[in-house]
Amino acid sequence: MELTEIADVEIDTLLDAIRRRYDYDFSQYARSSLKRRINGLLIKERLDMPYQLIPRILYDEEVFNRFLSELSVTVTEMYRDPEFFLDIVKSIFPVLETYPYFKIWHAGCATGEEAYSLAILLKEAGLLNRAKIYATDYNNKSIDIAKQGIYSAENIELSKSSYLKSGGKHDFSDYYTDHFEAIKFNDELKKSITFAYHNLVKDGVFGEMNLIICRNVFIYFDKELQDYVLNLFNESATSKGFLCLGNKETIRFSMLKDKYNILSESNSIYRKKA
Ligand SMILES: C[S@@+](CC[C@H](N)C(=O)[O-])C[C@H]1O[C@@H](n2cnc3c(N)ncnc32)[C@H](O)[C@@H]1O
């Protein structure tokens, strides 16, 4: 057996231990990024080999939590890719306007900025009171931050400019209060979103969603897991529901591609056929 194959056995054994102990299954995460992240954790834990992580993770939940933090890349920002939000305002809002009530699911929402970004645009379009917004992630620490709706003010100038580029019509500061180095979103926005734990690998369908947004999550999955999660979304979406992926993600290579019309290739916005 080659050394690289032995290293793969080590990683498989580590992932199996994690699945059995904590019920998190990473076996279908893209191998190259998984290896990079395991290496990152090894350096932080001052260990040399993946097998040394096994007893640490099995007996110490804190080490597992650090593993999870290393793996769930929670990088996000307000109005990330403004042209995506502008596209939603222009091509999806006019359809949502025709519904008396609609449901939106942000899957893999990290610390929640994406959900607050959309809630503000819905409010400006007079649609927020018709929307039920669910925002989910498998990282409980991120979900706790999202629920609080308090963020560092460090990037506020970028947020303001991205808000305007996304079709924002007012002053971004109308939606939060300043708290020294932080901003806190208004209660009306916080109340409009239900933040919850949901693991795309093992948890079930979220029923009857008119719009599903899952950006910058598929890049961490292998092809089989991507197909599995796309099926989950397909089952969760209403007939003629919208599906939005990140700009590096596509349904083009999936079995489901013929069930969707492409609304925007560059922003990966699709609409389920009737
Ligand atoms: C890079 S962030 C993307 C955040 C946001 N959607 C955006 O585009 O700005 C990826 C998120 O996917 C989440 N994630 C990864 N695997 C997941 C899974 N199996 N179930 C739910 N969330 C997952 C991570 O915890 C992380 O918060």
State whether residue 132 is helix, strand or coil: strand
Question: Please, what is the average pLDDT of the chain?
Answer: 95
Across 159-171, average pLDDT: 97
- Distance from C-alpha of 239 to C-alpha of 49, rounded to nearest angstrom: 49
Task: Give the pLDDT confidence score for residue 7 in this predicted structure.
Answer: 80
CB of 28 within 6 A of ligand 1: the answer is no
Task: Give the pLDDT confidence score for residue 207 in this predicted structure.
Answer: 86
| Whether residue 247 has pLDDT greater than 80 | yes
CB of 72 within 6 A of ligand 1: the answer is yes
CB of 216 within 6 A of ligand 1: the answer is yes
Task: Give the pLDDT confidence score for residue 208 in this predicted structure.
Answer: 95
Q: What is the DSSP letter of 99?
A: -
Ligand 1 centroid to 100 CA: how many Å?
A: 30
Using most ligand atoms within 8 A of CB, pick from 139, 151, 217 the residue to mutate for ligand 1. 217
* pLDDT band at residue 236 under the 50/70/90 scheme: very high
Using most ligand atoms within 8 A of CB, pick from 79, 80, 137 the residue to mutate for ligand 1. 137
Task: Give the pLDDT confidence score for residue 73 in this predicted structure.
Answer: 87
Task: Give the pLDDT confidence score for residue 128 in this predicted structure.
Answer: 97
Give the burial class of 106: count Cβ atoms within 10 A of its Cβ; 0-12 exposed, 13-18 middle, 19 or more buried. buried
By percentage, how much of the chain surpasses pLDDT 70? 99
Across 243-256, average pLDDT: 94
Q: Residues near 258 by Cβ (< 8 Å), separated by ≥ 6?
A: none
CB of 217 within 6 A of ligand 1: the answer is yes
Question: What is the tens place of the pLDDT at every residue in 30-74?
Answer: 999 999 999 999 999 999 999 999 999 999 999 999 999 998 888
CB of 117 within 6 A of ligand 1: the answer is no
Across 14-29, average pLDDT: 96
Using most ligand atoms within 8 A of CB, pick from 34, 70, 85, 138 the residue to mutate for ligand 1. 138
Task: Give the pLDDT confidence score for residue 141 in this predicted structure.
Answer: 93
CB of 143 within 6 A of ligand 1: the answer is no
| Whether residue 262 has pLDDT greater than 90 | yes
Closest CA relative to residue 111, chosen from 203, 219, 193: 193
CB of 114 within 6 A of ligand 1: the answer is yes
Count CB-CB contacts under 10 A for residue 251: 22
Closest CA relative to residue 196, chosen from 132, 129, 128: 132
Ligand 1 atom 11: the closest Cα is on which residue? 108
Q: Could you tell me the two tokens for 102?
A: 């609609």
Question: What is the tens place of the pLDDT at every residue in 69-108?
Answer: 998 888 999 999 999 999 999 999 999 999 999 999 999 9
| Whether residue 4 has pLDDT greater than 80 | no
Domains parsed from the chain with CATH numbers: 3-72 (no CATH), 82-272 (3.40.50.150)
Task: Give the pLDDT confidence score for residue 235 in this predicted structure.
Answer: 97
CB of 210 within 6 A of ligand 1: the answer is no
Question: What is the tens place of the pLDDT at every residue in 203-234?
Answer: 999 889 999 999 999 999 999 999 999 999 99
Cβ atoms 251, 245 nearer than 8 A:
yes
In this prediction the pTM is 0.95
The atom number, within ligand 1, closest to the CA of 76 reads 9
* pLDDT band at residue 5 under the 50/70/90 scheme: confident
Ligand 1 centroid to 93 CA: how many Å?
A: 24
Amino acid at 135: A
CB of 81 within 6 A of ligand 1: the answer is no
* pLDDT band at residue 180 under the 50/70/90 scheme: confident
